[in-house]
Amino acid sequence: MIKKDPKVSSKGIYLLPNLFTLMALFSGFYAIVAAMKGLYTSASMAIFMAVIFDGLDGRVARLLNASTAFGAEFDSLSDMVSFGVAPALVMYSWSLHILGKPGWLVAFLYAACTGLRVARFTIQIGKVDKRYFQGLATPNAAAFVAALIWTCHKYDIMGPDIAFWVSILAILLSLLKVSTIRYRSFKDINLKGRVPFLAIILIAVLLVLISINPPVVLLLGFTAYILSGPLVVLLGLRNLDITSSPDSL
């Protein structure tokens, strides 16, 4: 018989942040089930719910000072399912299956790069600038996939008809996740502090815009965020070339 360590069993876990993580995992799993039934709009919305819950669990843990090693590991496993396996299978079921073997290999690449991205992020916690992500964060990539599928489904664009372009996008997202390109994390925003009155107005305007056409607005928003990383790198290289050119001396 294996004896339980009383020190471990008596500690327990923090309920609220881990409950949000569990809801994110549930949403990701539901997205897979919905895709198997051909309910791609429901699958996309489930991925968005996973993104929301995933963002809340970390925020709540920090606000309650309830960050633990268990919570970090559980969050990583949830991310792998909700933002790796789920989007990959939803993309495959919706579009990539028409390509045959290359289709499921692209889906696997997406899931594999998610696992690599999550593992790298886990070992870098507390060691890098929290204001930036190294590589595209997996929730943002998954949200882009969900917005793309939701938009196409709304405008009757069939996944198999654009399978080639979906595969290209999936490969680019996979490479961005394991890249060293920096993206703003917005984790430095102080939710407990005061903000200008204009900030509330901007949030209200954003909510109105999303309510007008949710899939298109979300797709444009996440597209802009994904492009922001490479654009900053390109602008940085351009400025470097200008300052190092003979004409600037």
Chain segment 69-123, per-residue pLDDT in tens: 888 889 999 999 999 999 999 999 999 999 999 999 999 999 999 999 999 888 8
pLDDT tier at 206, thresholds 50, 70, 90 = confident
Residue 70 resides in a domain: yes
pLDDT at 249 > cutoff 50: no
Give the CATH number, domain containing residue 217: 1.20.120.1760
Query: Quick check: helix, strand or coil at residue 153?
Result: helix
pLDDT of amino acid 191 = 62
- Can you give the three-state secondary structure of 13-70, one letter per residue? CCHHHHHHHHHHHHHHHHHHHHHHCCCHHHHHHHHHHHHHHHHHHHHHHHHCCCCCHH
pLDDT of amino acid 71 = 84
8 Å CB contact between 69 and 33: no
The rounded distance, in Å, linking the Cα atoms of 126 and 236 is 26
Q: What is the mean pLDDT of residues 34-57?
A: 94
pLDDT of amino acid 240 = 57
Q: What is the mean pLDDT of residues 129-157?
A: 92
pLDDT tier at 17, thresholds 50, 70, 90 = confident
* Residues spanned by the domain of 178: 13-240
* Count: domains in the chain: 1
pLDDT of amino acid 248 = 44
Residue 192 resides in a domain: yes
In the numeric block, the tokens 């471990």 are attached to: 8
pLDDT tier at 130, thresholds 50, 70, 90 = confident
- Residue 136 sits at φ, ψ, to 5 deg, of -70, 130
pLDDT of amino acid 132 = 81
In the numeric block, the tokens 């996939």 are attached to: 145
Per-residue pLDDT of 227-242, as tens digits, reads: 998 998 888 766 655 5
195 vs 26, more confident: 26
Per-residue pLDDT of 154-179, as tens digits, reads: 999 999 999 999 999 999 999 999 99
Residue 249 resides in a domain: no
